[in-house]
Structure 1
Amino acid sequence: MPKDPKPLQTFSSENEHIITRRNFIQSSYALVGGMMLYSPYAIASDPQRVVAQDRDHQWFHQPLRIMHTVLRETDASDYDARVVVDYVLQSGANALCVNAGGIVDFWQNPFSAGNINPFMGKRDILAEISAACKDKGIRLLGRVDFRGVLPEVYEKHPDWFAKNHDQRPMMMTYTRPHLHMACYSGEYRNDYANKYIAQVIQDYGLDGIWHNSPGFDNICYCIHCQTGYKEYNGQNLPLLNESSHEELDMYMGWKRQEADRYMDRIKKTIKSFGEDKVYTAEVFSMYEVGRRVNNGIDLKNAFDHFDILVSVAFLTENTEHIHYEDFNYANSIIKFLKSAAPEREAVVMYGGNGTSHRLVIEPSLDVKVWLWEILSMGGRFWNCYFTNVPPVAYDTRNAFVESDANHFVKEHEEILAQHAPVAKIGIYYSRSTRLHYRNDLVEGDRFGEAIRGMETVLIENHIPHDFILDEQVNAEKLKKYTLILLPNVQCMSDLEISLIKEYVRKGGKIIATYESSMYDQEGRGREDFGLSEVFGVNYKGEKWNTRRDTYQFIRNKDHPLVIDEAGRTQLLHLAGYTLKTRAKPESGTLCVLVPTVHNQPPDKAWVEELSSDFPTIVHNRFGQGESIYFAYQPDVIAQQMGHPDARSLLFRAVLELAGSATMVETNAPSSVHIGLTASLLNKGQYVLSLVNTSGGKRPLRELLPVRDIEVKLDLGKATLKKSRVLKSQGELQIRAEGNHVVLEIEKLEDFAAVFLET
């Protein structure tokens, strides 16, 4: 069991301090110990604005630990609200989400489109759990699902639902049984859904609504959609397999508008019962591209409407070919959500059981590490079980798997409230680039691979960072970052390009790869890079497949990016695709493309000249700032195959341009991940976290403790006033060395965290 935390400890800057705790962290850019701690670190939004918005301190702005029971019809037969509530309390959760209904109702729904659970009899499951939660002070959310209905409900109101072009009912074929789909314009998702939600909030005193699967795919041709689209642009609805991309894109503009209006109606209904009533649904994957015609609910809609930002991210997905998601994806999600809306709780919906095999557990160690990863960036937990609650499921092995993380948050709730990641390095996230990936691209890579590769390099080298969302970018936001990374940010508007240029001109620094700025925000190609002046190169109209038998020749052997290798090799690895470019006279070429050296026959594997005139890496100064541009895809290579040349070059580029903004030096292995968050409510308060993922092949069989960690933190200026170890597993020594803090950590088992106040 963890030891009780010791009281806050006051430090003086002259002395070395030793703290003993059950576990502390290896570190990050923390602010510690008896030193001066400077905090010009970027938090995704203006802290003063955030604090002003959050003065009402609604319950859903506090650290959330949500239990979610997705009940099956048969669970109603022996449902025991007391067992559910006991589990919520013992596991350390403070809110419960439970079925209200839609497809199947778990209350005595009197409406004509209702479908009361036949296994419930005359009972009212929603009433029972509502009363039990109120008795114990547990917040209760109702799960509603209006994506479709069973045939017997459809027959009562066939004009409420979606229609194909030939006016046959539109069916949801991935469900068993198939459901009749409901569109955004029809009666079912609108008048009926809002009447339904108002009834369950009023009658059962719900604290909010979880809107399950709010999206609607495909094109509906019901009379409501036909009329609405005609009013929108005077045209008929397009045909999916016959209309042009332009016509389909126009349709999607209308569909996004309808989705937005649909969610706005739902939210207004919920908020009519009080501002403390929550509206939330899943925020879709930051890497999901979708089809040209998708459901029209994008991340921006979620940020605009949902009180709690919830991203569904299970360790495994419901696919035929199953893999375990990288641990760092859990904290990436939180960084992304907090970058967009730091004042809101950012929550990952995971499962002690999976989505691929719902009736058996996910590997327990992986689940625990997943939770610590989420917490390390200021995120919270939403445990979704698909078979009642864990103690009464078929497989109970993961019952209480979330307890350590939940109770940690509960114990330190006051400290952890309203935290967001801190960073001076930002990864540029482009929504227009994501949409551009709906097209058939020559490279064949998926959107997000460049971002993930870049982030992997940062995480494994313990460099704090967050995201800069293109929809929120402005000059003030960019000024908060020492270094901005453009991982193949293909699509950029003229305004974005102007802002980046001015940022670099005034002293900012960027690293960019491959086709960054080669297209406008609509995906229309440019003749040259929009940021050509900043990169110091011109595009020469060709894209080369350099996946095989290609290399880079080191031209500038003294440059910091290559000096360590230059004495031992003339060539560096090259893969992926490469753009044909020419360096501007004033820019500095580090490496150039080698003409293809064919692999076979080996006797002929040579070329007359290794060098060429086509740069692969260019270091350029622009105004008071500078850039490093890669004409190929080192970020994608880092993600797909992980060759050390790609990772080393990206890492050294960051070191070269970021300087002290990397904030940390450590001997910790890459399997130890570091998080630093700052309070938005109390200036100068921070939490520094370490997560150990050392364990070999996934899923983990065991966690291997990491010992004798040293961390050197560059903190700038600010005096540390108080410190408190929140969780640790060994001796911790803290000492000041000039403008740095040095941490010596005896042992890290799974997770460690420390509170710091300056």
Structure 2
Amino acid sequence: MKVIQYNLQVRDTGKMNPEDIARDARGLGADAVVLNTGGIYAWYESRVPFHHINEFLPEGRDLLKKLIEACHKEGVYVIGRFDFSKAEDEVYLQHPEWFVKDPDGKPVIYGKERMGNWSLLVSTCINGGYRWEEFAGKVLEEAIGMLELDGVFFNAPHMEDCWCENCRRKYRNLYGVDLPGEKQEWNSGWKTRCLQDNMEFLYRRIKAADPALPVIMYYSTYQEQGMHQAENLEDKYKTADLICTEAQDILSAGKESLPYRWKPILNMKLGRLPGKNLRPFGIIHSCPGMDWRHTGLPAAEYEYWMSQIPAAGGQLWHSLTGFDRTITDHRMLETVRQVNEKTAVSNRYLEDAAPVVDAWILWSGSKKELAMAKAFLECHISFEFLNLLLLEQNLNPEQYPLLMVADGSRLKTKQLQYLREYVARGGRLFVEKTDSETDTVLEELMGIVPETMCTGSLQAAYGELPETSGLRSRLEQTRYLPVRGQYLNVRPVEGTQKLITLIPPFAPPDGVGAPPERASMPVGHTEIPLAMMHPYGKGNVLSVCFELAELVTEIGLEDQKILLENLFAALAGENLKVRAWNLPDGVHLSVWEKQGRWMLQIVNGIGERPLRTANACGNLEIALRKETEGPVRGGSVLEHYPVRVISEKEWIRIQIDRLDVWDLIVVEEERDGLVEEKAFSNDTK
């Protein structure tokens, strides 16, 4: 599905022509639109007390109802947008118990310095009556009864920090203590619990009014500094039928603060549940920051950013300020139309397809887990996330062939026991660990002597690959690999293979540059392992005892990336399904599979951001593990450049002449009726 959210401004109400807006939405390729409906402003003739009706609505003409009718005539669904996060100051004066209070008991006010004849907006409390039966429940019941909506979307539903009496009472009832004055001391599940309770109420009210009406709810993804705990999507789907998240490309923050270049892709991965074909919505704002929301992102940046959502299996949701007649930067509309055209083609191929996964990262939201995910993206390793809350007994190695445990992961003893059973049955476990906190189960899995560990920090140090390590591919002509940061010194048990050994620092940090006469290595070789392979049961455990993921993401030397790729390939063995044989940095690959057909989604983000032009690249090569003995064929269905498919003994090699921004390469068994021949150029061997 392709969605366009029109963020309507009340003073533009008189310019709104329902037929034009509906026709323009269909012309841009929208399957659905999101329209302001209720909450801060009522965009219809509401009779609910304290529901502020848009004062610019034309008298005697139900504009929103006409808009919905016009959209339906164009075959466009309408999702009602409700925002109960704020209300006017006049409402606060009559019901102060509905609103957020700071630690001093004062309301939280937005837009105090906004020029013009505007009322103040005051934040509502998630535990107050406004967001429950006294207001929100009545508004939803009324709107669903009056309007032919096709869905409900809640904007800004989350809890704002609050110390009102409602919150104090609820906290005391839940946890048996008073609500702390410092939010850092709050129970880690407090805000999540409040959101769940409120959403459960609103969800029930909607389903009571119309059981078939889908509810769309935000899900949280990641924070660069790490999170206390990742969100449990199974719980999220108890109060939502569909989920969404935003990936704002905030260029106005400056080049030093640009969001991660593959943020939309990460967001989509974090919105998937293993084994379930549930596609999250990815919301992309058209502007370079809300402070410049009346202008558009540079076209090249916007196209690459948007393309990541459908390429990662998400549903694309555009967020525009205004509608076609009031939008002041029409260049963005052409970019939206172009990407929607490609998305429509991509969606047809990806319907009911599943991602091809070489590894699952155990996820709790930590900074180190995020570093591992980014390192995998930089190295073109195919992965998905498995929330630690969903880690369970009897993990199937066929469904989860390789699991990744990031540095610093706080696994409980029971979870470690699950992993031990998993490896014993043939699973493969990749562990990165630099701290000395451990468990006897983890020591057993890693193949190390108990209580022999100590930690340290490395500068001006190296790793050495023994000739027998099997990791020297593309590193044959170098002896030392640069390492630094925290490391864990361990002693392996018999049968544990050392893959990398430590070369200690040749100088302290203040002596690395001068004098060169003293730059000789004090020790040319040690038996201190930096990486090890330990067979356990029918499986294997690969342990990395230094901060490799952070080296790849923060330094990113070619040798460091090659090392991670080689380590991963050594552990995966014949289970490795995808290899990026020639993909440059700045290009992302994801692979999907359905009934003998592979879909390779490739997005190009090469260049200094924000991108001013698309920087085409060529001579790309990708390999897929061969699963059929018959002939295969393939080609491009989006950009239509020549593609060669070469079938070898173990691999299918796909060679792509050129990539502009986003292409979908389809590879399949050569049978009639699978691929529209006119859709691509191909050269199959």
TM-score range, shorter chain: 0.7 to 0.9
* 3-state SS of paired residue (1:729): coil
Task: Tell me the TM-score normalised to structure 1 length.
Answer: 0.78
Between the aligned partners of 2:281 and 2:99, the Cα distance in structure 1 is: 32
Residue matched to 1:374: 309
Q: CA offset at residue 614 of structure 1? A: 4.1
Distance 1:543 1:104, change over 3 A: farther
Residue matched to 1:470: 388
Question: Is 1:257 the equivalent of 2:193?
Answer: yes
Question: Is 1:654 the equivalent of 2:568?
Answer: yes
* 3-state SS of paired residue (2:209): coil
Residue matched to 1:202: 145
Q: CA offset at residue 272 of structure 1? A: 2.3
Q: 2:52 aligns with which of 111, 115, 129?
A: 115
1:266-415 aligned within 5 A = 266-287=202-223, 301-316=235-250, 319=253, 323-340=257-274, 342-356=276-290, 357-385=292-320, 387-411=321-345, 414-415=348-349
Between the aligned partners of 2:323 and 2:97, the Cα distance in structure 1 is: 38
Question: Is 1:234 the equivalent of 2:176?
Answer: yes
* 3-state SS of paired residue (2:276): coil
Contact 1:377 1:420 in 2 (8 A): no
Between the aligned partners of 1:275 and 1:234, the Cα distance in structure 2 is: 37
Q: CA offset at residue 154 of structure 1? A: 0.9
Distance 1:544 1:125, change over 3 A: farther
Contact 1:352 1:364 in 2 (8 A): no
1:494-643 aligned within 5 A = 494-515=413-434, 526-528=437-439, 531-537=442-448, 542-546=454-458, 549-554=459-464, 556-562=466-472, 565=475, 568-569=478-479, 571-589=480-498, 590-592=500-502, 594-595=504-505, 597-601=507-511, 602-603=514-515, 604-605=518-519, 608-612=522-526, 614-643=528-557
Q: 1:418 aligns with which of 352, 362, 365?
A: 352
Q: Alignment RMSD, CA only?
A: 3.2
Q: CA offset at residue 290 of structure 1? A: 7.4
Between the aligned partners of 1:155 and 1:341, the Cα distance in structure 2 is: 50
Residue matched to 1:17: none
Q: CA offset at residue 473 of structure 1? A: 2.3
Matched residue type, 1:105: A
**Deviation digits for residues 199-258 of structure 1, max 9, x if unmatched?**
112111111111011111324332x333333332433222216xx84xx22xx4344333
1:45-194 aligned within 5 A = 64-122=1-59, 124-171=62-109, 179-191=121-133, 192-194=135-137
Matched residue type, 2:283: M
Matched residue type, 1:150: E
Between the aligned partners of 1:755 and 1:644, the Cα distance in structure 2 is: 30
Between the aligned partners of 1:335 and 1:349, the Cα distance in structure 2 is: 14
Between the aligned partners of 2:626 and 2:246, the Cα distance in structure 1 is: 35
Distance 1:553 1:255, change over 3 A: closer
Structure possessing the higher relative contact order (Cα contacts under 8 Å, 6 or more residues apart): 1
Identical aligned residues as a percent: 19
Distance 1:746 1:233, change over 3 A: closer
Residue matched to 2:371: 450
Between the aligned partners of 1:425 and 1:527, the Cα distance in structure 2 is: 23
Matched residue type, 1:269: R
* 3-state SS of paired residue (1:305): coil
Structure 1 stretch displaced more, 587-596 or 558-567: 558-567
Structure 1 stretch displaced more, 739-748 or 105-114: 739-748
Residue matched to 2:361: 427
Alignment size in residue pairs: 654
Residue matched to 1:734: 645
Contact 1:281 1:306 in 2 (8 A): yes
Q: CA offset at residue 340 of structure 1? A: 4.7
Between the aligned partners of 2:112 and 2:508, the Cα distance in structure 1 is: 47
Residue matched to 1:46: none
Matched residue type, 1:202: G
Residue matched to 2:610: 699
Distance 1:262 1:626, change over 3 A: same
Q: CA offset at residue 551 of structure 1? A: 0.7
Distance 1:342 1:736, change over 3 A: same
Q: CA offset at residue 477 of structure 1? A: 4.7
Distance 1:563 1:738, change over 3 A: closer
* 3-state SS of paired residue (2:271): helix
Task: Tell me the TM-score normalised to structure 2 length.
Answer: 0.86
Q: CA offset at residue 349 of structure 1? A: 0.4
**Deviation digits for residues 641-673 of structure 1, max 9, x if unmatched?**
212332121111011111243334533434443
* 3-state SS of paired residue (1:163): coil
Matched residue type, 2:405: L
Contact 2:232 2:389 in 1 (8 A): no
* 3-state SS of paired residue (2:171): helix
Matched residue type, 1:261: D
Q: CA offset at residue 534 of structure 1? A: 1.7
Structure 2: give runs of 5+ residues left out of the alignment.
670-685
**Deviation digits for residues 17-42 of structure 1, max 9, x if unmatched?**
xxxxxxxxxxxxxxxxxxxxxxxxxx
* 3-state SS of paired residue (1:404): helix
Distance 1:756 1:745, change over 3 A: closer
Between the aligned partners of 1:574 and 1:411, the Cα distance in structure 2 is: 45
Distance 1:404 1:174, change over 3 A: farther
Between the aligned partners of 2:308 and 2:231, the Cα distance in structure 1 is: 27
Distance 1:730 1:318, change over 3 A: closer
* 3-state SS of paired residue (2:52): coil
Contact 2:5 2:319 in 1 (8 A): yes
Q: CA offset at residue 384 of structure 1? A: 0.4
Distance 1:173 1:322, change over 3 A: farther
Distance 1:298 1:479, change over 3 A: closer
Q: CA offset at residue 370 of structure 1? A: 2.5
Q: CA offset at residue 497 of structure 1? A: 0.9
**Deviation digits for residues 335-388 of structure 1, max 9, x if unmatched?**
332245732222210022233421111121122223333222322200001x21
Matched residue type, 1:236: D
Structure 1: give runs of 5+ residues left out of the alignment.
1-63, 435-445, 519-525
Residue matched to 2:402: 483
Contact 2:463 2:482 in 1 (8 A): no
Distance 1:99 1:171, change over 3 A: same
Between the aligned partners of 2:113 and 2:189, the Cα distance in structure 1 is: 28
Q: 1:669 aligns with which of 571, 580, 584?
A: 584
